[in-house]
Amino acid sequence: MSASNVKTNGTTLSKLDQALFRVESALNLTAGIMVLGLVCLAVTHVLSRKLLNAPLPGFVDWVGQFMAVFAFLGIAYTQRLGGHIRMDMLVGRLKGRTLWLTETVSSFVILLLVSALVYGTFYHFNRSFDFGSPLWSRDSSIDIALPLWPAKLIVTLSLVLLWVRLVLQVWAFGRAFREGAVEPIGVPLIEDAAQLAAHEAEVLRAIG
């Protein structure tokens, strides 16, 4: 659960943003469930090794698969909320069209980078996927031979979702620059310490 400062309205941009956010939220929840599953698996592995002298076979292999899930499924969700680490010391001092132009350019640069990552990760997925092999995989883990293509596919699909999110953000920041908007629709706004604390308090109240 998160308190967001992203503005919404009835425009096409906002509707697309909210529809995409529902998908991002579902995948982020899935990532959280996977983290819980990994914790349960680790506890089972430790207890089984300690009490029965029988550690779970392929534990390290499963951890590798889990990590691909929870490390990437929430990446677009975090981008939508402005949760990725960034340097706001300079950008936070900008105002108006100068700020929106800076955000547009930076989002576009990230979009180009993510485009290259999508291509690269799909290449690695395609290299490990083979209908003619057992479990459709040319590539498998060392211990129990888990197919690696599902994890690689998750990485690619997660980056594709991030790519779509960045396209919407370039659109939103570009529109804000063109119109001289005060608070753009569909993008996270820079917050000071007091605003961040207020949002964190809102989350705690909602949980409680």
Spatial separation of the C-alpha atoms in residues 158 and 28, rounded to whole Å: 10
Per-residue pLDDT of the chain (208 residues; tens, 9 = 90+): 444 688 889 899 999 999 999 999 999 999 999 999 999 999 999 999 999 998 888 899 999 888 888 889 999 999 998 888 777 777 778 888 999 999 999 999 999 999 999 999 999 998 888 777 766 677 888 888 888 888 999 999 999 999 999 999 999 999 999 999 888 999 988 766 666 666 666 756 766 6
* Gyration radius from the chain CA atoms: 21
Q: Is 48 exposed, middle or buried (0-12, 13-18, 19+ CB in 10 A)?
A: middle
Please name the residues in contact with 171: beta carbons below 8 A apart, sequence gap of 6 or more: 13, 186
pLDDT score at 138: 77
User: What are the sequence ranges of the domains in the chain?
Assistant: 12-207
